[in-house]
Amino acid sequence: MVAAQNGHGGAYRRLLGEISDWLQRYFQRRLPHGDVDDAVQETLLAVHRRRHTYDPQYPLGLWLAVIAKRKWIDQLRALGRLPTEDLSDDLPVGDHEMSVVSASVLASLLEELRPLQAQAIMLVKVQGYSIEDASRQTGQSASAVKMNIHRGLARLTAFIEKTHDVD
């Protein structure tokens, strides 16, 4: 920054590049994705306009952070002024009956199994865990998890085949 204040163009371009990278990370954590570039550009303009106010005996990061924070607040204020739409009272709501029934049937079927079998099937077949992840989660070896899944599914198949009222 000191070299830039003294008119060194190369140093100033490098400084703006490094500041731009830092500002991208700063605003990405604080603003909606679509507003990040605008905030970065506004802050770079403010840095350019106020570069003569930087005092080299103080850290550049602190000076930059104060400017960035003020631009962030300005951006939040602008977001608060955007028009909003009221939600209609007649929004369609999905019917979740099948999901609830399916979850209930699955829970009652899993109650027919040994706990380790039910847990292995839930983790791998329902929740999508890998065998290795399920092994770590349950404390069983990978082969024990596979065996519990195989035996549990066989037991569920036999149970369902002897039940007459299942559609």
pLDDT tens-digit map of 58-95: 899 999 999 999 999 998 888 877 777 777 777 677 77
The residue behind tokens 């569920």 is 156
Q: For a pLDDT cut of 90, what percent of the chain falls above it? A: 50
Cβ neighbourhood burial of 35 (10 Å; 0-12, 13-18, 19+): middle
Predicted confidence at residue 98, as pLDDT, reads: 82
Calculate the alpha carbon distances from 72 to 24, 32, 42 in Å.
12, 11, 10
Q: In the structure encoding, which two tokens stand for residue 25, read together?
A: 């990370």
- By mean pLDDT, which of 43-52, 56-65, 77-86, 108-117 is the weakest? 77-86
Residues 108 and 103: their CA atoms lie apart, in Å, by 9
What does the alpha-carbon distance between residue 134 and residue 122 come to, in Å, rounded to a whole number? 9
- Alpha-carbon span 140 to 152, nearest angstrom: 15
pLDDT tens per residue across span 24-43: 999 999 998 889 999 999 99
Choose the weakest-confidence range: 14-18, 42-46, 82-86, 149-153: 82-86
What average pLDDT does the structure give for the chain? 88
> How far is 122 from 141, CA to CA, in rounded Å?
16
Q: Which domains does the chain have, with CATH numbers?
A: 2-80 (1.10.1740.10), 99-162 (1.10.10.10)
Position 112 pLDDT exceeds 70: yes
